Chains A and B, each alone.
Chain A
C-alpha cells in the first residue's frame, strides 16, 4: 500500500523559509508503539485532506517528560522539558496539536512555568475546529447507526475538562453515542496514567483496565472510542481478554474520522 503521507519536518520547513500553522507533536507512543502509529497516520491523513499546513519535529522530538514527572523524577522531567522548549523556541513554535492527552497536559500546563508558553490543543479539539471552519467535512460512512461509547482519558477529561469535543465528533458520524455508567467527570481511569503504563500493577483483585473494559462492555458497543494512545492499548487488552476482539473495535477518534472518509 503506498500511503503518500505528506509529513514535513520543522527543519525542512525552516530550510524553505516557511512557518507551518501548527506543530504536530507526535509523542513517544505515537512514534514508536505499533498500535499508536496507526492513530498518528490516521490523524496525518486528515491533516493532509484538510490541507492543514503542519510539521513534525521528527528526530528532534523527545519525550515530554510526563511519565518521569508522574513517577516522581522531577529532574528527568525538567531536563526533557527545557530541551524541548529550546527546540520549540528555535523554530518559533506558537501552536501545538497532539493526539496524546499526557503530552497535551504537560505541554499545556507544565511547560509554561519553565518558560514554554504555546497554544496547545488536543487533536479532538483541533479536528472539531477544522469541521467548524468548514475545512473538513465528514459523513457517517461505515459508522452510521453504530453504537459507539467514548472512554474519557483522565488527562483530557478531569485534568483539563475537555469532554465535549470528542463526543461532538462522534455524533457527526451519525453514530449512536452511548455513555458508560461512569463517564465524563465520573469516568474511570484506564489504568495507564501516572507512569503505571511502564510497570506491573500493584497487587489487587483485578487490573484497572479490566474494570474499565467491563464498564464499556456493559453498554454493548460496536466500537469503544478513545482519545489517548495509552487508553487505547489498555482497552484493547481488556477487549482481547474478554475474547471480544472479533465484535468490538477500539478506535481513536481520529481513526473513526479517517475511516469514515475512507482516508
Chain B
C-alpha cells in the first residue's frame, strides 16, 4: 500500500513536471523568435529593479488596497513552497511530517505562518473574486477580457481557494487525529500540533468525526494540495498567471533609459548617413556590418518585434492598469494598451503552434499581428504619453510595440493618416511641421 502510494506520487510528479518543462521550452523558443536587443548593460541596476519591482512589488503600491491583497496571495504562494518540500519527501518515502522532529518549534512556527498567510490569501481571494464578478471593476470588465481571459482570472482564484481549503483540511484533520492519539505522526501519543489556526479549527470542525473518516479526509487534503500545485504549474502556460514566473526576468530586462527616449533605428542611420555624405559612392559594396538580409523597417508581425517585447507579452498580467490610465482609452478610442499586449501574445502563440505543426519551421499563414490582430486605428490613437509604461507594475512597454508598428505603416507601407503625411512632407521640405518658410523662423522677434 505504501509502495503503491509512493509510486503513484512519483509518477504524478514526473508527469506534471515534464509536461511543464515541455511547455516552458516552447515559451522560451517563442520568445527567441524575436529580434535581438541588448539588455545586459548595468547589471546592478537591473538586479535592483528586479528585487524592488518583481520581488518587492514596489509599483503595485500606487494602489494600496489591491497591493495589500495581492501581497497576501503572493507571500502565501512563496511561503507555502516550504511545505511543498516536505510533501515531496513524505510522498516519495512514505513518511509523515518528516520535518517535525528535526525542526521542533521552528516547524510549528513555519506551519503556523503558512496557515496565517493562507488565511490572508483566502480573504484576498474572496475580495478579488467579488471585485471581478460582483463589483465589476471597470478595468477588469473591459471588452478585451470577455471570454477566456475573464474565465482565466476566475479559474486561478478558484484554484487558490481549493489550495487553501486543502491546507486547512489536511492540518485540521491531522490535528483532530493527533488529539485522539491517531495521527500517523505521533504513533499513538496524544497531543496537539499547536498550529496557529488548525489547533482550533481542527477540533471545532472535524472533532466529532470517526478516525477512518479523518484519515480519509487528511489524505484528500494532502493529495489535493499536491495535485493542485501540479495542476497550477501546468495551467500557467495557458494563463496570464505566467507572470508569477516571468515578472522576474521581465523586470530584469526592462528598459532602463528615460521613458521619452525611443530607440534609434541603426539601419536607418546607415542609410541616412550614406544619403547625406557627398563623398559616398552609391554603388560601393555595403559595409560589412550591414545586415545580410535587408532590414524591414518597423514591425508587422511578432517576429519583427524584439525578444523583450515578446517576453513582455507573456508576462502581462492583464491587470489593465495601463488601459485605465491611457488617455486614448479613457476618451473612448479603440486603443487599449493591455489589449496590445494580449493580442501580441495571442499571435505569438498562433505562430508557435504553426511552427510545432510544421516540424520546426514557420509556414506563412497569410496572417499578421498588424491588421489581423491590431488595427491601424488603434495604433494611430496613441499619444505616446507613456502613462501605460509608468503604470505597469512589471515594467511592460505597450508603447514600444505601438511605435514599431507605426514605423512599419509609415516606412514600409506609406500608410499614415493623410494629415500626418502632410506634416511629414512639411518637415522634409520646410523644416517645420507646418507650411512656413524656414527663413521666417525669427520673424517673431519683430512682431507684436
Contact = CB atoms under 8 A, between A and B. Distances in A.
Nearest to A9: B442
B424 A76 contact: yes
B433 A158 contact: no
A75 B268 contact: yes
Interface stretch (B210-218, B284-292, B308-316, B325-333): B325-333
B384 A31 contact: no
A159 B447 contact: no
A76 B423 CA distance: 11
Nearest to A113: B264
Contacts of B427: 63, 65, 67-68, 76, 80
Interface stretch (A132-140, A164-172, A190-198, A249-257): A190-198
Contacts of A154: 383-387
B411 A72 contact: yes
Contacts of B330: 188, 208, 211
Interface in A47-86: 56-59, 61-63, 65, 67-76, 78-80, 82-83
A147 B443 CA distance: 34
A28 B438 CA distance: 9
Interface range for A: 35 or more
Nearest to A1: B448
A191 B327 CA distance: 7
Given A58-B441, A63-B431, A110-B261, A71 B382 contact: no
A32, A61, A212: most-surrounded residue (chain B CB, <10 A): A32
Contacts, number: 216
Contacts of A161: 258
Contact of A31 (B264, B383, B416, B444): B444
A202 B325 CA distance: 17
A171 B245 CA distance: 46
Contact of A72 (B328, B389, B416): B416
A70 B271 CA distance: 19
A198 B433 CA distance: 8
Contact count band on B: 35 or more
Contacts of B383: 154, 189, 191-194, 196, 208
B403 interface: yes
Contact of B390 (A108, A158, A212): A158
Given A82-B272, A109-B261, A71 B444 contact: no
Contacts of B359: none
A26 interface: yes
B386 A159 contact: yes
Contact of A211 (B327, B385, B417, B431): B327
Contacts of B448: 1, 3
Interface in A210-252: 210-212
Interface of A: 1, 3, 5, 7, 9, 26, 28, 30-32, 37, 40-41, 56-59, 61-63, 65, 67-76, 78-80, 82-83, 105, 108-110, 113-114, 154-155, 158-161, 185-189, 191-208, 210-212
Given A65-B427, A74-B268, 14 more contacts: A7-B445, A26-B441, A31-B436, A57-B441, A58-B441, A59-B442, A67-B433, A72-B298, A74-B411, A79-B276, A109-B260, A110-B262, A194-B384, A202-B380
24 contacts: A7-B442, A31-B436, A56-B442, A68-B424, A72-B407, A72-B416, A73-B411, A74-B411, A76-B428, A80-B427, A109-B260, A154-B386, A154-B387, A160-B258, A160-B260, A186-B390, A188-B330, A191-B327, A199-B419, A201-B331, A202-B328, A202-B377, A205-B332, A206-B331
10 tightest A-B CB contacts, nearest first: A159-B260, A205-B332, A194-B384, A72-B406, A62-B431, A204-B332, A109-B261, A189-B385, A72-B410, A58-B442
